[in-house]
A and B are shown apart, each in its own frame.
Chain A
Amino acid sequence: MHSLSIMIVDDSTLTMKQLNQFLRELGHRIVFTAQTGKEALDNYSIYNPDLVTMDITMPDMDGITATTKILEKFPEARIIMVTSHRQEQSVLEAIKAGAKGYIIKPFQKDKLRETIEKVIQKFGNKR
């Protein structure tokens, strides 16, 4: 798979660093990092990433709301939830909001690679 431009949205310093490192090691480029859903929404059009990794529990605007709002404006957006929420209702809400994949923390690099590959295979790259 070729290199993707990726926006990471997570309020955890540690998860942000893990995702940043894993995604770079997988050959992708991090074009923007946001700590709230609102920050992601405000910056999506500027960076126009191939893929977004989105946490659910964040201050200001949660990841489900941010996903819904980004997809309202940019229906071609590819968003993967990266969250600790294992409850079925949260997974269903994320899918209903338009998320293309769901990774539960704690995660390994292989799981991240596998999920990204599935999303790109199924939905194609935006470009």
Chain B
Amino acid sequence: MTAIINWTAIIFEQHIMLKIINTVFHFEDLNAIDLKYPTAFLKLTVADQKFIIAFTFDSQLIQHLHNALTEGIDYSDEELQNIFEAVAADMLNIIIGNATVDMPNNYAKVEITPPRLIKHHQRLLRKNQANFFGGEVITSLGNLSVFGIEPVALFNEQLDYIDN
């Protein structure tokens, strides 16, 4: 999680020119996590450990990221929503991909899956053997919440519990 939060700050500051005010870590078990629109998540395998990593964006922040990443890019009004959501997925993919260089892996390949999107607000309560942890990147234009979720096998492709 430290590598992911640190690389978020690097990418935001150096490529998006976004001021980072603070970074906060929640290494202890969280009882619930709130996933806002848009949330992007992927599965991350580091050596023999598997996690789900979810990024959930404040609306002002995702709007700024959208403006920054699509500057000079042509797209139609019909494509706007797809592009807006692709920004969330791309930010997750770019940050996790860059962070792989700092993940302890005993020289094993770090694997990540393509990102998926959750397009509605969702509150996930901790139950069974689920473990939630995470952090916040606080910027001058809103926060990015980063969540780690395990074990992967408890959740489906929409981040609902499989036993629901």
C-alpha spacing A74/B96, complex, angstroms: 32
- Sort chain A's interface into a size bin: 20 to 34
C-alpha spacing A59/B112, complex, angstroms: 11
C-alpha spacing A87/B111, complex, angstroms: 10
Contact assessment for A84 and B98 in the assembled complex, using a CB-CB cutoff below 8 Å? yes
Q: Which of A57-111 contact B (CB under 8 A)?
A: 57-59, 83-90, 93, 104-106
With both beta carbons as reference points, the residue of chain B lying nearest to A17 in the complex is identified as B73
* Interface residue B101 (Cβ < 8 Å from any Cβ of A): yes
Contact assessment for B90 and A14 in the assembled complex, using a CB-CB cutoff below 8 Å? yes
C-alpha spacing A76/B146, complex, angstroms: 43
Among the 9-residue stretches B23-31, B49-57, B80-88, the one with 4 or more Cβ atoms under 8 Å from chain A is: B80-88
Contact assessment for B97 and A21 in the assembled complex, using a CB-CB cutoff below 8 Å? no
B42 to chain A, nearest CB (A): 8
C-alpha spacing A57/B114, complex, angstroms: 6
Chain B residues in 8 Å Cβ range of A88 = 101
Chain B residues in 8 Å Cβ range of A13 = 79, 82-83, 86
A12 to chain B, nearest CB (A): 5
Given contacts A13-B83, A17-B83, A57-B97, contact A89 B90 (CB under 8 A): no
